[in-house]
Structure 1
Amino acid sequence: MLKINYLRYFNFKSRRIFCGIFYIYSMKNLIILVALFISAIIHAQFTVTLSSAQSKAGSDAYLYTLNGSKDVLSSKAVNSKNKWVFKVPDSYVGMLRVYIPEGNNSVNLISENKNIEASYLMKGDKISEVNYIDETNKTMNDIQDIQRKKEIILPALYQMNDFYTSKSPFKTAINEEIVRLSQNITYDASKHPFIDFYNSNYKKFLAPDATTPKVEEKDIINFIANSSEMLETSSLLKPILVSYLNNAPKADVSKSIDNLLNAVNIETPRGQTVLSELIEIFDTYDMADLKAKYLAEAMNLKCTINDRLAGTIAISKNLEIGAKFANYTFTNAFNTKAKSIYDVKASKKIILFWASTCSHCEAEIPKLIEKYAQMKAQNIQIIGLSVDNDKDSYERRIKDLPWINDAQLRGWNSTYAETYNVHATPTYYILDQDNKIIAKPNHVGDVLNFLNLK
């Protein structure tokens, strides 16, 4: 009995010791797993390093990925020792853009989920030359450089070649350059999947040559419906959609659009991104009937809507007649002490998006200047928001403009370009005293007619 009790005690004690050892071992593994998890969060999937000996220390830069034709902010980095290092935590294959607010500069890159490195040179406050250091971007740049020369230089070389005798040293040099430019840069498609996806489909759908088979409507539909996620990150989606619409039968464009949307299924993320892109294309090219039809279709969806389409719907709603115009806080406004659009007190406000380099603006602005005294007499104010990026050009021009003007000097990267859905200049909105949109004129003549200013 005593022996049996002893054995029972021994087994019980042993189990406690074993459980204690197992607990310690499990806790140790748990700590390791937690450490690995935290490390995975802290450390990037890959890094993007951009440097220049000419950059200004302390300035921020921003890294954007791509979704269709929309930039998506990925991360921000502070210049340290003339270098920006961005940590990208998630797997990403596709186009990237580093935006540097100083001088409104951008560097375009591609990612194949590997570390990226590039440097650049400046001329004044503008980037003049980019040196791609990592293999992926260097390969892509070499391919595109040869492609540009093929499209622009090669035809001229063929013409020049006819003017020189066969023994001419210059003709020999021309022939050597023709041979060089006629060759394709070879690369391992399995090693560079994005480069292969982009270049093969760009050539097929957007820049076909005599050797490229003719693309039919069904080919484009099949490509958009069945491509990998690289379609959204490649920058190809919007131009291919524009090409698709241009080649659709003029008598029934809606039928071609419906064929495409049925194939991609607008209840899926791909289908909603395509629908969003189409609505924005209709808006850009003043295809009002098509925009209204497919915007209504988007708004009537009962399924979960992705961020891309939700953003398109929200912007459209916010800019409808009767909607309250979103406020904008001025950056460095001229001809006013007001701090924002809402601070400007007037019975009506004309919001004018323009640029000093815009020829249509130069044609229309004098007509506004001519009527500005009448406008002021009726308590109507003009607020110009410029998409200029050149400070000198902008400041020279606004000296002649009597109304309120402001600019972020970031060109189309200006925040209000997206907020107010500005695709072209000039763009007009007319607001009432409560900042509600009462008109969206297309041209200066429409502005003056709406205000009864003959």
Structure 2
Amino acid sequence: MKKIYILSAVLAAFSLHAQFTVTLQAPADFKEQDAILYTLNGSKDIIVTKEQSKNSVWTFKYPKNYMGMMKVYFPNTNNTISLISENKNVNIKLETQNNKIKDIVYQDEANDMMNRLQEGAQKKELILPALMQIKDYYKDTTDFGKALKSEIGRLSVGIDNIDQNQHPFIYYYNTNYNKFLSANNSTKATTEDIVNFIDKSNDMLETSSLLRPLLVAYLNAGGNANVGPSIDNLLDRLKVETPRGQTVLSELIDIFDIYEMNELKDKYLTLAKNLKCTITDRLASTLKANSNVEIGAAFPNYKFQSPLNTTAKSLYDVKADQKIIIFWSSTCSHCESELPQLLTKYNDLKTKNAQIIGLSLDVDKEAYTKKVAAFPWINDSELKGWNSSYTDTYNIHATPTYFILDANNKIISKPNHVGDVLEYFKLK
């Protein structure tokens, strides 16, 4: 019994040591009570906990080690802030106006440094090339020449001054971003370099936001004719049954979905379905999202938030022989050209007892309201953009995305474009 007490004390001490807090402070007139803390796994945000404001302060307690990207989302005002953790306390002060975040003041050392480095990297990418072009026209002895030389020197500074021991995540992120993804890097990484890095990297790869762009860079480096063999080589090296192998497989399936590489998506989705090992939560969510929208599957019901042009309470309450579901946004250029084509055929669709239901990924209420005024079909939006609840449920990666359902809400078609919709109903 004594040993158990000792072990419990050791575990408790470790837990206390590992725990850190994320504290946010906002002005008193910021009308938000709820805040949600997320960590990152590849490109997927993972909910950690939800907290309520106490005197305009939110305090999140994280009970274990975590180094990587995080975000806090305010669901009622639709504000998001990004931050990092190096397993130390994070302190952030928000400046707001009309319930929108105007500025973020990072008060802890790690986030302040990361913010300054990223701002500097943007200026380096956009401004430094122009300064280098004009520097030869000004002598170093002139006031402007001296200032120009000083600014070039400041923007040319690399990350060599980052203490890896003090700031392990910042060092990891910036070193590997510069090596593999920076447009300013003169030495391009080979496919073998990328495979070795993904295979040997520590867990910060999953929490850094670098994984998906690395995979895209890997696919591009291999060339269009070599995509399949390149993927097989990568998954063989990683061993697809491992947690990292499954995360990479999940990311690849999503990438093929985004770029409409359907043959490759189907191949590796089948591979994922046939795995005999224990499936990670990350891959399980990808499998679930895809199974929700397979041809013949029952389209998951959706409870409307503030629907227009209907008294129905949910998607299933809408009665029609066929339903056309559109995920769209007022800021989407393709939606701008495609939805008016549906509008011209709307009466023809009604004669076929087909109903259109638009679910918007808008954020701006005014822009959304102005746009839907022209659309007589059922419209609804959570006004949360890509934080909308239905993006994961329906595996939405781009707008517009279309589904056609039968009277029993089963998926009978997944058109790629509005022309496919019109052709399905023989209206083209």
**2:116 corresponds to 1:142:** yes
TM-score (norm 2): 0.94
**2:170 corresponds to 1:195:** yes
**Identity %, equivalent residues:** 54
Quote how far apart the aligned CAs of 1:141 are.
1.2
**2:39 corresponds to 1:65:** yes
* Alignment equivalent of 1:181, drawn from 142, 155, 158: 155
Q: Which residue of 1 aligns with 2:267?
A: 293
**2:350 corresponds to 1:376:** yes
Quote how far apart the aligned CAs of 1:213 are.
3.7
Q: Which residue of 2 aligns with 1:333?
A: 307
* Alignment equivalent of 2:218, drawn from 231, 244, 247: 244
| Cα-to-partner distance string for 1:267-321 (whole Å, 9 max, x where unaligned) | 1111011111101111111000001111111111111111111111111111110
Q: Which residue of 1 aligns with 2:22?
A: 48
Larger Rg: 1
Q: 1:453 to 1:145 in 2, by over 3 A?
A: same
* Alignment equivalent of 1:363, drawn from 331, 337, 340: 337
5 Å matches for 1:75-94? 75-94=49-68
TM-score (norm 1): 0.89
* Alignment equivalent of 1:262, drawn from 236, 261, 266: 236
Per the alignment, in what secondary structure is the counterpart of residue 103 of structure 1?
coil
**2:106 corresponds to 1:132:** yes
Quote how far apart the aligned CAs of 1:173 are.
2.4
CA contact (8 A) 1:428 1:441 kept: yes
Q: 1:363 to 1:278 in 2, by over 3 A?
A: same
| Cα-to-partner distance string for 1:61-101 (whole Å, 9 max, x where unaligned) | 00000011100000111111111111111211111000112
User: What letter matches 1:404 in structure 2?
Assistant: I
> Would you say how many aligned residue pairs link Structure 1 and Structure 2?
427
Per the alignment, in what secondary structure is the counterpart of residue 77 of structure 2?
helix
User: What letter matches 2:246 in structure 1?
Assistant: Q
RMSD: 2.2
| Cα-to-partner distance string for 1:360-402 (whole Å, 9 max, x where unaligned) | 1110111111011111122110000000000110011111110
CA contact (8 A) 2:27 2:96 kept: no
Quote how far apart the aligned CAs of 1:45 are.
0.8
CA contact (8 A) 1:54 1:121 kept: no
User: What letter matches 1:224 in structure 2?
Assistant: I
CA contact (8 A) 1:64 1:72 kept: yes
Q: Which residue of 1 aligns with 2:179?
A: 204
Q: 1:113 to 1:170 in 2, by over 3 A?
A: same
Quote how far apart the aligned CAs of 1:162 are.
4.6
Per the alignment, in what secondary structure is the counterpart of residue 255 of structure 2?
helix
Q: 1:251 to 1:100 in 2, by over 3 A?
A: same
CA contact (8 A) 2:21 2:61 kept: yes
| Cα-to-partner distance string for 1:79-138 (whole Å, 9 max, x where unaligned) | 111111111112111110001123321111111111111112124332221111111111
Q: 1:286 to 1:43 in 2, by over 3 A?
A: same
CA contact (8 A) 2:125 2:184 kept: no
CA contact (8 A) 2:78 2:384 kept: yes
* Stretch moving more, 157-166 or 284-293: 157-166
Per the alignment, in what secondary structure is the counterpart of residue 442 of structure 1?
coil
Ranges in structure 1 where 5+ consecutive residues have no aligned partner:
1-22
Q: 1:226 to 1:36 in 2, by over 3 A?
A: closer
Tell me how far apart the structure 1 counterparts of residues 175 and 16 of structure 2 sit (CA, whole Å).
Answer: 36
**2:294 corresponds to 1:320:** yes
User: What letter matches 2:182 in structure 1?
Assistant: A
Q: Which residue of 2 aligns with 1:3?
A: none
